[in-house]
């Protein structure tokens, strides 16, 4: 990816890596680019999460957009998938979500979404980064009647809520459900949806104050929801991340149900109804080996992409598959959305339980999650460490030992000088010893930082 934009937008610490001036310039570029230099009307929809800095970036982004002659429509606090939905449903030129997802409150980011509700292309990122680095001409400011305007568009969030409600095929009446909103974007949407569907809704971490987003809550701190469900008579709990494009679940006993398990249950249900396009689920290389074993039993095919919901979506769009996602809880239902949507995922999982007339634990009785050990090894050169013949030979030996009872994955970090060594096997002790074998070879070859 680019210098500023990673797989999930322009992200960093607010006013350190990402400043209000950066946001202003991004706004100017978007307005100029999508209006084709002021030749046509340009409308850009903006959403934000609950971080203190999101207000600053909303105003700076809007100022850049309007200064360059386009109109900025403000959805205010809302979810990333709602911005994606509105961008395509209301024919906007593009959308921007101000969020750093699961990061702490002092970080923030700008996720740019095209008019089809998709993350923008690498070519687009190259152009915007060239402008940010001053490698292209300065964008002229609009004058007189060409100056843009800001529009309150909280109605867009309400339309999205209505859309989610319309997708549910069953009433949730009488079902006691816990929702952990991470003190983030889901706070403005999730309870309204579940209440409208008739659930007895219990909400956690639903009082954002600008600083408490993802703070010991939400999908990255699932223990809060686990404890609540375990000590109540809720039958299920859902946890979202800061911008609500992820969802993890817990069963009535507080056991974690991750993205792989959700993919399995939803894929199995879709196949049963004859609705699993291509009889295939798209996963990433980080999905648990247990998912592939149980999909083999069910006769469901799967694809594996590199890590990132963007790559999952690209594979799905290319082959017209309708279900894919990540272990972390980014689940894409392509018939209904072009991005991961945590609240949509929770609706779909609820419907599986209602149709199967079983508890979440019962539905997963045949799923065996393989133990996994992952070690991050700080190296002097990622490329050399990955391509080193002795390391490759060590990985090959581990593969031979595991056969079809597990797997090893060697992957370079995209942002740090790290090599991730991951092994999944039937026993955790085996995972640890095999990971240590590979790391020992890396040390012997002088690849590990002292």
Q: Which of 328, 344, 363 is the last residue of a domain?
A: 363
Round the average pLDDT of the chain to a whole number and report it. Answer: 95
Ligand-binding site membership of 107 (annotated): no
Please check the confidence at residue 4 and state whether its pLDDT lies above 90: no
Residues 67 and 205 in one domain: no
Alpha carbon distance 132, 111 (integer Å): 16
Residues 376 and 359 in one domain: no
Residues 276 and 412 in one domain: no
Domain count, the chain: 3
Kindly name the residue from 53, 99, 101, 430 that is annotated as catalytic: 101
Ligand-binding site membership of 430 (annotated): no
Residues 277 and 383 in one domain: no
Residues 9 and 129 in one domain: yes
Residues 330, 102, 29, 21: what is their CA dihedral angle, to the nearest 10 degrees?
180
In a domain, 24, yes or no: yes
What 3-state DSSP class applies to 39?
coil
pTM of the model: 0.92
Nearest alpha-carbon partner for 15 in 67, 52, 68, 65: 52
The domain that contains 181 carries what CATH number? 3.40.120.10
**Structure-token match 């990955």, residue found:** 386
Q: Tens digits of per-residue pLDDT, 198-253?
A: 999 999 999 999 999 999 999 999 999 999 999 999 999 999 999 999 999 999 99
Residues 246 and 227 in one domain: yes
CB 322 within 8 A of CB 316: yes
- CA 396 to the chain's CA centroid: 32
In a domain, 161, yes or no: no
Please check the confidence at residue 414 and state whether its pLDDT lies above 80: no
In a domain, 236, yes or no: yes
Residues 256 and 343 in one domain: yes
Q: Is 101 a catalytic residue?
A: yes
Please check the confidence at residue 416 and state whether its pLDDT lies above 80: no
Ligand-binding site membership of 245 (annotated): yes
In a domain, 450, yes or no: no
Residues 145 and 183 in one domain: no
pLDDT at 404: 85
Please check the confidence at residue 1 and state whether its pLDDT lies above 60: no
pLDDT at 210: 97
**pLDDT (average), residues 433-449:** 94
Kind plus residue range of the DSSP H or E element containing 64? helix 52-67
Pairing assessment for the beta strands 107-114 and 94-98 based on DSSP bridges: antiparallel
Pairing assessment for the beta strands 200-204 and 176-180 based on DSSP bridges: parallel
Look up the domain containing 104 and give its range: 5-155
Please check the confidence at residue 450 and state whether its pLDDT lies above 90: no
Ligand-binding site membership of 101 (annotated): yes
CB 425 within 8 A of CB 432: no
Q: Which of 95, 129, 155 is the last residue of a domain?
A: 155
Q: Tens digits of per-residue pLDDT, 110-163?
A: 999 999 999 999 899 999 999 999 999 899 999 999 999 999 999 999 999 999
Sequential DSSP letters for 160-195: HHHHHHHH--S--TT-EEEEE-TTSGGGGTHHHHHH
CB 186 within 8 A of CB 237: no
**pLDDT (average), residues 317-331:** 96
């Amino acid at each position: 990816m680019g210098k500023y934009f990673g797989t999930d937008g322009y992200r960093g610490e607010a006013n350190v890596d990402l400043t209000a001036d950066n946001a202003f310039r991004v706004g100017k570029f978007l307005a100029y680019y999508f209006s084709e230099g002021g030749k046509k009307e340009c409308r850009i929809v903006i959403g934000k999460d609950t971080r203190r800095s999101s207000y600053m970036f909303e105003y700076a982004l809007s100022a850049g957009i309007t200064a360059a002659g386009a109109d900025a429509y403000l959805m205010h606090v809302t979810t990333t998938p709602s911005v994606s939905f509105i961008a395509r449903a209301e024919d906007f030129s593009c959308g921007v979500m101000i969020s750093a997802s699961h990061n702490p409150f002092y970080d923030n980011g700008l996720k740019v979404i095209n008019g089809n509700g998709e993350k923008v292309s690498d070519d687009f990122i190259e152009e915007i980064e060239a402008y940010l680095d001053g490698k292209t001409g300065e964008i002229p400011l609009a004058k007189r009647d060409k100056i843009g305007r800001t529009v309150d568009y909280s109605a867009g969030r309400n339309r999205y809520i209505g859309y989610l409600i319309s997708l549910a095929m069953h009433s949730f009446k009488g079902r006691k459900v816990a929702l952990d909103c991470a003190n983030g974007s889901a706070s403005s949407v999730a309870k309204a949806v579940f209440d409208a569907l008739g659930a007895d809704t219990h909400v956690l971490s639903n009082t954002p104050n600008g600083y408490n987003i993802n703070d010991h809550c939400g999908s990255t701190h699932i223990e809060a929801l686990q404890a609540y469900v375990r000590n109540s008579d809720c039958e299920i709990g859902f946890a979202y991340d800061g911008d609500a494009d992820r969802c993890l679940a817990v069963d009535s006993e507080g056991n974690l149900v991750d993205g792989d398990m959700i993919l399995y249950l939803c894929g199995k249900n879709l196949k049963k109804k004859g609705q699993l396009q291509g009889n295939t689920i798209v996963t990433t290389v980080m999905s648990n080996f247990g998912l592939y074993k149980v999909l083999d039993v069910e006769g469901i095919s799967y694809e594996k992409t590199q890590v990132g919901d963007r790559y999952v979506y690209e594979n799905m769009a290319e082959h017209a598959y309708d279900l894919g996602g990540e272990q972390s809880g980014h689940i894409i239902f392509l018939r209904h959305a072009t991005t991961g949507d945590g609240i949509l995922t929770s609706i779909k999982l609820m419907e599986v339980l209602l149709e199967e007339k079983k508890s979440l634990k019962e539905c997963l009785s045949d799923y065996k999650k393989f133990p996994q050990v992952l070690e991050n090894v700080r190296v002097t050169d990622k490329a050399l460490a990955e391509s080193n013949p002795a390391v490759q030979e060590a990985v090959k030996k581990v593969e031979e030992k595991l056969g079809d009872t597990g797997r090893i994955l060697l992957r370079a970090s995209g942002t740090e000088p790290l090599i991730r060594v991951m092994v999944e096997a039937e026993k955790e002790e085996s995972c640890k010893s095999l990971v240590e074998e590979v790391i020992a070879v890396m040390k012997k070859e002088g690849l590990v930082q002292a």
